[in-house]
Structure 1
Amino acid sequence: MAVQNGSLSKLQSLNGIFAIYKKQGPTSADVLNALKTALLKEAGVANPNPRKRKKQQLKIGHGGTLDSNASGVLVVGIGEGTKMLTTMLAGSKKYRAVGELGKATDTLDATGNVVEEKSYDHITKEAFEEKLKQFTGEIMQVPPLYSALKKDGQRMSVLLKQGHEVEAKPARPVTVYSLSLQDFSPPHFTLDVECGGGFYVRSLVDDLAKALSSCAHIKELSRTKQGQFTLEEHVLKEDRWTLTDISQALLPCPNPSQQEKNDKKAKSKHKTQSESKADDGDQND
Structure 2
Amino acid sequence: MAATEVEIGPAVERAPVPETAETAAGTATTSPATAAAAIVAAAARTGTEATASKAALATKLLSLSGVFAVRKPKGPTSAELLNRLKQKLLAEAGMPHKEWTKRKKQTLKIGHGGTLDSAAGGVLVVGIGRGTKMLTSMLTESKRYVAVGELGRATDTLDSTGKITEVKPYDKITQEDIESILQKFTGNIMQVPPLYSALKKDGQRLSTLMKRGEVVEAKPARPVTVYSISLQKFQPPFFTLDVECGGGFYVRSLVSDIGKELSSCANVLELTRTKQGPFTLEEHALAEDRWTIDDIAQSLEHCSSLLPAELTLKKTKPEESSEQVLSCKSVTLNETTGNDEIIKTF
TM-score (norm 2): 0.70
**1: CA distance, partners of 2:200 / 2:132:** 21
For each residue in 1:150-179, what CA deviation from the matched residue of structure 2 results, as whole angstroms up to 9, or x when unmatched?
Answer: 111111111111121111111110000000
Partners of 1:95 and 1:224 within 8 A in 2:
yes
Question: Is 2:290 the counterpart of 1:240?
Answer: yes
User: Which residue in 2 is equivalent to 1:81?
Assistant: 131
| Deviation for aligned residue 1:13 | 1.1
User: Which residue in 2 is equivalent to 1:204?
Assistant: 254
Matching of residues 172-187 of structure 1 within 5 Å: 172-187=222-237
Question: Is 2:113 the counterpart of 1:69?
Answer: no
The change in CA–CA distance for 1:241 and 1:149 in structure 2 (over 3 A counts) is: same
Matching of residues 18-167 of structure 1 within 5 Å: 18-46=68-96, 57-167=107-217
Q: Which amino acid aligns with 2:84?
A: A
For each residue in 1:110-157, what CA deviation from the matched residue of structure 2 results, as whole angstroms up to 9, or x when unmatched?
Answer: 111111000112211111101101000000001110011111111111
The change in CA–CA distance for 1:181 and 1:79 in structure 2 (over 3 A counts) is: same
| Deviation for aligned residue 1:56 | 7.0
| Deviation for aligned residue 1:194 | 0.3
| Deviation for aligned residue 1:9 | 2.1
Give the structure, 1 or 2, with the largest relative contact order (CA under 8 Å, sep 6 or more).
2
The change in CA–CA distance for 1:14 and 1:254 in structure 2 (over 3 A counts) is: farther
Q: Which amino acid aligns with 1:122?
A: K
TM-score (norm 1): 0.85
Structure 1 unpaired stretches of 5+: 49-54, 265-282
Runs ≥4 residues deviating over 6 A: 253-257
Q: Among 328, 337, 341, which residue is 1:284 paired with?
A: 328
The change in CA–CA distance for 1:248 and 1:211 in structure 2 (over 3 A counts) is: same
The change in CA–CA distance for 1:214 and 1:241 in structure 2 (over 3 A counts) is: same
Partners of 1:36 and 1:58 within 8 A in 2:
no
**2: CA distance, partners of 1:191 / 1:62:** 26
User: Which residue in 1 is equivalent to 2:59?
Assistant: 9
Higher Rg:
2
For each residue in 1:154-211, what CA deviation from the matched residue of structure 2 results, as whole angstroms up to 9, or x when unmatched?
Answer: 1111111112111111111000000000001110000000000000000000011101
Question: SS state of the match for residue 178, structure 2?
Answer: helix
Question: SS state of the match for residue 82, structure 1?
Answer: helix
**2: CA distance, partners of 1:60 / 1:89:** 16
The change in CA–CA distance for 1:97 and 1:255 in structure 2 (over 3 A counts) is: closer
The change in CA–CA distance for 1:134 and 1:232 in structure 2 (over 3 A counts) is: same
Superposition RMSD on alpha carbons, in Å?
A: 2.3
The change in CA–CA distance for 1:231 and 1:246 in structure 2 (over 3 A counts) is: same
**1: CA distance, partners of 2:141 / 2:266:** 27
User: Which residue in 1 is equivalent to 2:273?
Assistant: 223
Question: Is 2:240 the counterpart of 1:190?
Answer: yes
Partners of 1:182 and 1:192 within 8 A in 2:
yes
| Deviation for aligned residue 1:47 | 8.3
